[in-house]
Amino acid sequence: MVPRGRAAGYMMPDADDRLHVTRPALDDMVAVALAGRAAEEVVFGEVTTGAQNDFQQATGLARRMVTEWGMSPRIGKVALVEGEGSYLGSGPQLVPMSEATAHTVDEEVRGIIESAYARAVALVQTHLPRVHESVEVLLRRETLSGEEFSTLLAGGTLDELPPSPPASLPPAPLPT
């Protein structure tokens, strides 16, 4: 967790080289992407524009679950994209589909997003005291590792950081 930058704070997941990812793990990834917006809503009772990239990530992942990986019970085990990502960045393309199928895809994506968001809100509400503790620690430390965050979430405490040395004063002007 890093409380700075243009995003005014973000969570950077650990690098993961998994080749195959399960549906529950993907659902977790979508919920994590939406957790910042969920926290805004729970803590402040309103939302900001800060979650734009989070929505893009969550929506892209949910759309791939439905169109590429056959993870929609209503669409079935059908790939609705063809081609692979290329070196120049053009990724898989949607296959031609009926308006009804496109509508179903949109509904399924929206369902994954709404379910993950409801889960994120519930988790933030359940763990709100820990959220506030994490914020207090972030204000003192600037960053938290995954291990440190897990310690806080479990109710543990972190060692205090050594005090920063006082900023040196500029040299006094020489008498003239």
Same domain flag for 134 and 119: no
Do both 150 and 86 map to the same domain?
A: no
The SS3 of residue 2 is strand
Residue 95 belongs to some domain of the structure:
yes
What's the pLDDT tens digit per position in 19-73? Answer: 789 999 999 999 999 999 999 999 999 988 888 889 999 999 999 999 999 999 9
55 shares its domain with 104: yes
8 A C-beta contact, residue 41 and residue 47 = yes
Looking at the structure, do residues 69 and 152 belong to the same domain, yes or no? no
**Structural domain includes residue 78:** yes
Q: Rounded to two decimals, what is the model's pTM?
A: 0.74
CA-based max dimension of the chain: 86
* Distance, CA of 10 to CA of 143 (rounded, Å): 10
pLDDT tens per residue, range 70-112: 999 999 888 888 876 555 556 677 778 889 999 999 999 999 9
162 SS3 class: coil
Residues 85 and 150 in one domain: no
Residues 6+ positions from 82 with CB-CB distance below 8 Å:
92, 93, 95
Q: Are residues 58 and 137 in the same domain?
A: no
Residue 1 lies in a domain: no
The answer to whether residues 31 and 118 belong to one domain is: yes
- Supply the CATH number for residue 47's domain: 1.20.58.760
Q: Locate 166 and state its tokens.
A: 């006082």
Same domain, residue pair 106 and 132 = no
Question: Can you tell me which residue has the tokens 């080289």?
Answer: 17
Instruction: Report how far residue 164's alpha carbon sits from residue 104's, in angstroms, rounded to the nearest whole number.
Output: 56
* Residue at 4 is within a domain: no
- List, in sequence order, the alpha helices (H) in the chain: 23-44, 52-67, 99-126, 128-141, 146-153
Q: 126-176: per-residue pLDDT in tens?
A: 989 888 888 888 888 778 888 888 888 788 888 776 666 655 666 666 766
Question: Judging by beta carbons within 10 Å of its beta carbon (0-12, 13-18, 19+), is residue 49 exposed, middle or buried?
Answer: exposed
Domain that holds residue 72: 23-126
> Does residue 32 sit in the same domain as residue 113?
yes
Q: Is residue 9 part of a domain?
A: no
In angstroms, the CA 53 to CA 55 distance is 5
Instruction: State whether 141 and 59 are in the same domain.
Output: no
CA–CA dist 92, 83 (Å, integer):
5
The answer as to whether 85 is a domain residue is: yes
Query: What's the total number of domains in the chain?
Result: 2
Do residues 94 and 137 both lie within one domain? Answer: no
